[in-house]
Amino acid sequence: MRKHRSLGEMISTATFFGCGVFIFLYSMELLDMGQHLRAYVGLAAALFCILGGFRFTIANLVNKWRDS
Protein backbone atom coordinates (compact mmCIF):
# COMPACT_ATOMS: atom_id res chain seq x y z
CA MET A 1 0.00 0.00 0.00
CA ARG A 2 1.58 3.25 -1.17
CA LYS A 3 1.40 6.35 0.97
CA HIS A 4 3.08 8.98 -1.21
CA ARG A 5 1.47 10.38 -4.32
CA SER A 6 3.07 12.20 -7.20
CA LEU A 7 2.02 15.69 -8.26
CA GLY A 8 0.40 14.23 -11.39
CA GLU A 9 -1.69 11.82 -9.32
CA MET A 10 -2.87 14.65 -7.07
CA ILE A 11 -3.77 16.81 -10.08
CA SER A 12 -5.70 14.01 -11.76
CA THR A 13 -7.54 13.24 -8.50
CA ALA A 14 -8.57 16.90 -8.14
CA THR A 15 -9.65 16.91 -11.79
CA PHE A 16 -11.81 13.81 -11.29
CA PHE A 17 -13.53 15.41 -8.28
CA GLY A 18 -13.94 18.78 -10.01
CA CYS A 19 -15.42 17.25 -13.16
CA GLY A 20 -17.66 15.01 -11.08
CA VAL A 21 -19.11 17.97 -9.18
CA PHE A 22 -19.55 20.02 -12.35
CA ILE A 23 -21.24 17.19 -14.24
CA PHE A 24 -23.49 16.47 -11.26
CA LEU A 25 -24.65 20.10 -11.02
CA TYR A 26 -25.18 20.30 -14.78
CA SER A 27 -27.15 17.04 -14.74
CA MET A 28 -29.40 18.33 -11.96
CA GLU A 29 -30.08 21.38 -14.13
CA LEU A 30 -30.95 19.09 -17.05
CA LEU A 31 -33.43 17.26 -14.82
CA ASP A 32 -35.12 20.56 -14.02
CA MET A 33 -35.33 21.30 -17.75
CA GLY A 34 -37.02 17.96 -18.40
CA GLN A 35 -34.17 16.32 -20.31
CA HIS A 36 -34.26 13.11 -18.31
CA LEU A 37 -32.14 10.82 -20.49
CA ARG A 38 -29.25 13.30 -20.73
CA ALA A 39 -29.56 14.00 -17.01
CA TYR A 40 -29.35 10.32 -16.03
CA VAL A 41 -26.38 9.72 -18.32
CA GLY A 42 -24.72 12.76 -16.78
CA LEU A 43 -25.42 11.54 -13.26
CA ALA A 44 -23.81 8.19 -14.13
CA ALA A 45 -20.79 10.04 -15.54
CA ALA A 46 -20.58 12.16 -12.39
CA LEU A 47 -20.66 9.04 -10.24
CA PHE A 48 -17.85 7.46 -12.25
CA CYS A 49 -15.77 10.64 -12.01
CA ILE A 50 -16.19 10.72 -8.24
CA LEU A 51 -15.25 7.03 -8.08
CA GLY A 52 -12.19 7.87 -10.20
CA GLY A 53 -11.18 10.39 -7.56
CA PHE A 54 -11.33 7.60 -4.98
CA ARG A 55 -9.40 5.14 -7.17
CA PHE A 56 -6.45 4.77 -4.78
CA THR A 57 -8.73 4.28 -1.78
CA ILE A 58 -10.76 1.71 -3.70
CA ALA A 59 -7.56 -0.10 -4.75
CA ASN A 60 -6.36 -0.20 -1.14
CA LEU A 61 -9.71 -1.59 0.03
CA VAL A 62 -9.67 -4.26 -2.68
CA ASN A 63 -6.10 -5.24 -1.75
CA LYS A 64 -7.07 -5.53 1.92
CA TRP A 65 -10.10 -7.61 0.96
CA ARG A 66 -7.95 -9.94 -1.16
CA ASP A 67 -5.36 -10.37 1.60
CA SER A 68 -7.88 -11.37 4.24
What confidence score (pLDDT) does residue 5 get? 81
User: Within a domain: residue 3?
Assistant: no
**Residue 54, domain extent:** 8-67
What confidence score (pLDDT) does residue 4 get? 72
Helix runs in the chain, H state only: 7-32, 36-53, 55-67
- Is the pLDDT score of 57 beyond 80? yes
Report the predicted TM-score, pTM, of the whole model to 2 decimal places: 0.85
The number of domains in the chain is 1
pLDDT band at 2; cut points 50, 70, 90? low
| Pair 27, 48: CB distance under 8 Å | no
User: Within a domain: residue 1?
Assistant: no
